[in-house]
Amino acid sequence: MTRVHCAQLAPRVADLPHNRELSATAVRGAAARGADVIVLPELVTSGYRLNSTAEARSVAIDPDDPLLTEWGRAAPHSVVVGGFCERGPDGHLYNSAAVLDHGELIAVYRKTHLWDEEKLLFTPGDTPPPVLKTSHGRIGVLICYDLEFPELTRKLALHGADLLAVPTNWPLLPRPAGERAPEVVIAMAAARVNHLAIACCDRTGTERGTHWTEGTAIIDQQGRVSAETDTTDTACTDLDLHASRDKRLTPHADLFADRRPELY
């Protein structure tokens, strides 16, 4: 079993030292609870509601920044996936996710589907999201709105992902009473039609008037929410990630073999 842990944090906008401490403490706490895979929110180092390129630039960091190294030190036996505001060597800003395994940075993914006004601050990534062979399974990485493109979740599934780790910042939308947040519904459907697990780590804390869904959810291969946040804004559950590799639903039904790519 693989212990998957999401830390739904409340970063302070444009406060790098605070967010550094906040995120490293959360990673350390997760590791102490035996987490194998730890997911942090999108842009946890910078906050989300950055009000200008100048402000975003002031909290942008390089992938070799000590802040990310600290995540690795805080959980030396885990995989850590967390969002950060990246200063690219080309001078552009990216909404990125860092992936660390056993303390080492193994990948940086730059969000390819920028949501709404993010387009005014960030450059979209031009490389598809990776599926990484880690010490805790094959992990695909998406960021927030990326998850709403079913071509992309399907692609990562076909590339062998056992688990999608998805740092998110979901602004709160009105929804009917008793219903799950639409983003969670989309994740549940993606998990079920692809028979893989998905860990979405949302954020909390009001920021410049924006409220968040606080919809953190770890979803199993049946598309069921296996864990939501507890009173400490933590979601944690043990999943059999190897189950993601068998796409059979019955002796005569197989989610991948039943595809008809020639018709799509």
> Which residues sit at the interface with its own copies, rule CB under 8 A?
112-117, 119-120, 124, 126-128, 145, 148-155, 175-176, 178-179, 182, 185-186, 188-190, 192-193, 222-224, 249-250, 252-253, 255, 258-261, 263-264
Nearer to its own copies, 136 or 195 (CB): 195
Check if the beta carbon of residue 85 is closer than 8 Å to that of residue 93: yes
State how far the Cα of 63 lies from the Cα of 79, in Å rounded to an integer: 16
Q: How far is the CB of 169 from its own copies (least distance, A)?
A: 14
Q: How far is the CB of 217 from its own copies (least distance, A)?
A: 12
CA dihedral 159, 96, 25, 180 (to 10 degrees): -70
Residue type, 86: E
Q: How far is the CB of 17 from its own copies (least distance, A)?
A: 31
Length of the chain: 264
Nearer to its own copies, 195 or 203 (CB): 195
Nearer to its own copies, 84 or 115 (CB): 115
Nearest to 218 by CA among 171, 163, 137: 163
Q: How far is the CB of 179 from its own copies (least distance, A)?
A: 7
Nearer to its own copies, 145 or 170 (CB): 145
Tokens 């805790």 locate to 136
Nearest to 95 by CA among 77, 106, 105, 108: 108
